[in-house]
Amino acid sequence: MNRNATIAGLGTALPPPAGQDDLWDGFFAKHYTAEKRALARRIFTNSGVRTRQAAVSPLLEDVSDWSTEQRMRRYQVEAVPLGKEAVERALTDADVRADELGLFAVCCCTGYATPGLDILLARDLGMSPSVQRLFVGHMGCYAALPGLGTAADFVVARGRPALLLCAELTSLHLQPASTRTDLQQIVSHALFADAAAAVVLTPEGPGYTLRDVVAVTDTTTADHMTWEVTDLGFRMGLSPRVPAVLEMHVRQLVDDLLGRHGLGIGDIDGWAVHPGGPKILDVVQQQLGLDDEALAASRGVLSAYGNCSSPTVLLVLDALRSRPAPPRRVVMLAFGPGLTLYGTLLEASTVTA
């Protein structure tokens, strides 16, 4: 029996971009009261984000006073074509037909509808009526990694291709200026963006083989990161203490992951770290003893695309594999509610293109 699954294809899709300065000047400078404006401007400037993308741009329409019902109806309009584009690109990259898939998994914490993306895209893309489907919600920024692990387990157990789609529309959850315009909301408004990324896993062939998945959750800090469903969309809670929690756990997580394979940090030439923000990347770099080049892809994704929640770590992986000399071994790290840390170890099965 085959004991590994390989990432044979990856595809991404992005809504139209906007510059961080343009977003500030064109919307957010007026969104906050005079009391909050100077603080908010500093946070936007120091976010590490230079451009980001929004399916629902505040430069074109202000959704901050929309009800959750209005936001979820718009989610259905925007998420389907975005997810379809990412999936089609991943299937083409892997040279796999939609009707060959045995499992279609979707991760999303920013929108809910039934029938969902798993049903609608399976129909529109011509997947088999017998394709198995899985929807993963409310895992937040780390969802891609347990999603990868689950899809890989299916491939190993069934010997059939699987597809994972991570699609997030954080722009739908812009909060009104009159409701909790505290530090956590300002940080959220400065960082988050929209994207979709899809991955095809197969039993064999060229690509990155998924060797292992590990996780640790510190439930004593469960209140440090929250995602509350309110009458005015979903509201982010993001404690400034999150980096300190990662500081306690990330080195042990990585050592455990690599130690199971007789490897050390020096054996890894590719790091796909979820860029939750500049401080998150600073902590990971310091705790793992990495040089600036090791996290260049993560910082580049944060600068160019912002924090897109679950697809973001896949955008970093795509950047790594697109290099003229792709890394042989990649560690992916992502963090989210729980507080939860996830890690995966990938190894090139052949020279990747």
Q: Which residue shows structure tokens 């929250």? A: 226
Residue type present at position 239: S
Helix, strand or coil, per DSSP, at residue 103: strand
- DSSP-derived pairing of the beta strands 225-230 and 233-238: antiparallel
Beta strands (DSSP E) in the chain are 5-13, 17-19, 51-53, 103-107, 132-136, 162-169, 194-202, 208-217, 225-230, 233-238, 270-273, 329-336, 340-348
DSSP state of 99: G
Question: From the CB of residue 300, how many other CB atoms can be counted at a distance below 10 Å?
Answer: 14
Question: From the CB of residue 337, how many other CB atoms can be counted at a distance below 10 Å?
Answer: 21
Q: What is the DSSP string of 124-153?
A: HTT--TT-EEEEE-S-GGGTHHHHHHHHHH
Helix, strand or coil, per DSSP, at residue 197: strand
The active-site residue out of 107, 108, 141, 166 is 141
Indicate if 107 belongs to the active site: no
Which residues are identified as catalytic? 141
